[in-house]
Structure 1
Amino acid sequence: MKSHGSRDKLQAAASSSHRRVLLLLFATCFALATFVTFVYNTSHFASASGSGAAADSSGGGASAGSGTGAVSALPLPVFDALVHFASISNATHRMSDTDIRAISAVLRARGPCNLLVFGLGAESPLWLALNHGGRTVFLEENEFYVKYLEPRHPGLEAYDVSYTTKVRDFRDLLDAARASRAAECRPIQNLLFSECRLAINDLPNDLYDVAWDIVLIDGPSGWNPTSPGRMPSIFTTAVLARTGATAAKGPTDVLVHDFQFELEQVLSKEFLCDENRVAGSGTPSLGHFVVRPDGRRDAFCSGQDSTAAGTSSEKSGK
């Protein structure tokens, strides 16, 4: 019995020693894993912070040619697939497939970039996706539509805008803008303090400091005389492209949808200028302009009289 008891004690001691070794080994592995995780997270956080700071310094989003290397464009096969399925969609009130492809071509050339879109529509999720890695901001006249879409499309950045203009008044508004082209409605100005009736000056302040690469004008509505029309969005875009951070970064691609209508054609000719229209680009219903800061402070286009109101020949829009 004594011999048997001693053997049990030896086995118990060996078992206890074995457990201590396993416990020590486990503690060592746990400490090593904790240390490796700490080192990785620290380096990853520092890298992310540096990338974020570089992105912030570029004006609130990635811009083509910014050189930060913080973002990458959407892979071309994915880009093409999104455009393909959007162009054959049967969604109501959508753009034509030719317009979708024309806009997408500009986004492919400039993206990822800072993209400003006037109007929310069936294509809004597409523009957000195609500009992957950039900043896309939507301005919409219907605040309820903004509240409806934002929860359904994570990452959508949209703001509601109140417009005071009416389509029926666009000739009078244009004459007034021509008459004050060297004053309130000049091409280079701080829109936040603008008194021009066509200027949009109630956006979030930081949006005026973003270097916009592309502006797509697809709103507000202009289907009837009491609709706000796109006079403010076209005028404001023309000023943005010539002022501040947007002008400093170089040319701005401006795309005007529903270009087949008189208002869009007349206002684009007045503020975006025929000389800036891109030949062979766009479609009959999409005007494509590249606006470069030219330093003119009292005229938007070459040959404009900065002091005279529109004549009857100008009013014809020809």
Structure 2
Amino acid sequence: MRSKTQFPINLNFKLILICFFFLFLIFLIPRSVFSPAASSSPSVHASSSSRAPSENQEPPENQEPTTTAAACPPGRTQSCDKIPPSLAEALVHYVTTNITPQQTMKEISVSMRVLAKKSPCNFLVFGLGHDSLMWTSLNHGGRTVFLEEDRSWINQIHRQLPSLESYHVTYDTKVTEADELLQTGARDDCQVVGDPRTSKCRLALKGLPKEVYEIEWDLIMVDAPTGYHDEAPGRMAAIYTAGLIARNREGGETDVFVHDVDRVVEDKFSKTFLCEGYMIEQEGRIRHFTIPSHKARAGRPFCPPT
């Protein structure tokens, strides 16, 4: 999710990122303008009825016709074309930053395409980093939650971006235990689908904030905890728990993304516990899985037959 050292941001990447945000706005604004929820808002109608003339009413003499009605649908004010504050903040942040996000543009595009279809939605991210404001902005109107192992890093990011919703979590595993935990995950008690808090599997994370267990997540990104040295906690439990949360939802499906699959742990654990049969695509170091609810269909195996 974040690097230990900081690198100057590549100019071409910055220009691509800016263009990417404006393209997102092109899709976002028409959807928000013409959505049924927006057009049926009582407060909007009450405001517009007190200011706007009816269709058959002519404007007063010597008053030039306005173009507001042409720019916005009936019952909406000119503010409907304004950039939402969260997106404006993101644009300014990434234009002025000298930090390069950890994912490449092609890797970001994988989850961006899913967010374009599903947002506003519930988006859970393991890891807090330089790209967190981007994920929150892409899920404008939804809920994006970040789980981070480093409390001091949370405080640092919070001072810069206080609007981000993040929680401190702890892990009791190490990368050196990966092979043992892979064997543990093959046992019957790790193949049972249910609430991670009541699971008997050692890989299930039981100490996460209650919001993580109570919300049905539409997207989950596993880009943490640290996993690049032997004494680091590794992403074994995060990957397993992401898959368990996805299977345990009442209905529908969850898109799960795992970053850094060029490393052994991320590669093996994502294929084993998110299942190769659920894998949709891989771009660079990111892998995308779509996991259906196992509650909605009794008897569904932990992984689909291959």
TM-score by length of 1: 0.63
Q: Secondary structure at the match of 2:154?
A: helix
Whole-Å separation in 2 of the counterparts to 1:148 and 1:125: 14
Whole-Å separation in 2 of the counterparts to 1:302 and 1:158: 33
* 90 and 147 in structure 1: CA distance in 2 versus 1, 3 angstrom threshold: closer
Is 2:284 the partner of 1:274? Answer: no
* 87 and 152 in structure 1: CA distance in 2 versus 1, 3 angstrom threshold: closer
Q: CA deviation at 1:151?
A: 3.3
Aligned amino acid, residue 240 of structure 1: I
Partner of 2:195: 190
Q: CA deviation at 1:137?
A: 0.3
Aligned amino acid, residue 260 of structure 2: D
Partner of 1:286: 286
Partners of 2:257 and 2:286 within 8 A in 1:
yes
Gaps of 5+ in 1: 1-42, 48-71, 305-318
Partner of 2:172: 164
* 163 and 297 in structure 1: CA distance in 2 versus 1, 3 angstrom threshold: farther
Aligned amino acid, residue 172 of structure 1: E
Q: Secondary structure at the match of 2:280?
A: coil
Q: CA deviation at 1:175?
A: 0.5
Whole-Å separation in 2 of the counterparts to 1:297 and 1:239: 15
Q: CA deviation at 1:225?
A: 0.8
* 165 and 251 in structure 1: CA distance in 2 versus 1, 3 angstrom threshold: same
Is 2:263 the partner of 1:261? Answer: yes
Partners of 1:272 and 1:291 within 8 A in 2:
yes
Is 2:124 the partner of 1:116? Answer: yes
Q: CA deviation at 1:227?
A: 0.7
Q: CA deviation at 1:297?
A: 6.3
Aligned amino acid, residue 200 of structure 1: L
Q: CA deviation at 1:298?
A: 8.7
Partners of 1:211 and 1:249 within 8 A in 2:
no
Q: CA deviation at 1:269?
A: 1.1
* Equivalence map 1:214-233=2 (5 Å): 214-233=219-238
* 156 and 186 in structure 1: CA distance in 2 versus 1, 3 angstrom threshold: same
Whole-Å separation in 2 of the counterparts to 1:88 and 1:102: 25
Q: CA deviation at 1:88?
A: 12
Whole-Å separation in 2 of the counterparts to 1:117 and 1:220: 11
The Cα RMSD (Å) is 3.2
Gaps of 5+ in 2: 1-41, 47-79
Partner of 1:236: 241
Partners of 1:99 and 1:286 within 8 A in 2:
yes
Partners of 2:251 and 2:293 within 8 A in 1:
no
* 87 and 260 in structure 1: CA distance in 2 versus 1, 3 angstrom threshold: farther
Higher Rg: 1
Partner of 1:204: 209
Post-superposition Cα deviations, 1:135-181, rounded to whole Å, max 9, x if no partner, equal 000000111111221232132111111101111110101101212xx
Partner of 1:62: none
Q: 1:127 aligns with which of 135, 143, 150?
A: 135
Partner of 1:100: 108
Q: CA deviation at 1:291?
A: 0.4
Q: CA deviation at 1:129?
A: 1.2
Partners of 2:124 and 2:221 within 8 A in 1:
yes
Partners of 2:193 and 2:244 within 8 A in 1:
yes
Whole-Å separation in 2 of the counterparts to 1:97 and 1:302: 31
Q: CA deviation at 1:90?
A: 5.2
Partners of 1:87 and 1:101 within 8 A in 2:
no
Q: CA deviation at 1:194?
A: 2.6
Partners of 2:251 and 2:292 within 8 A in 1:
no
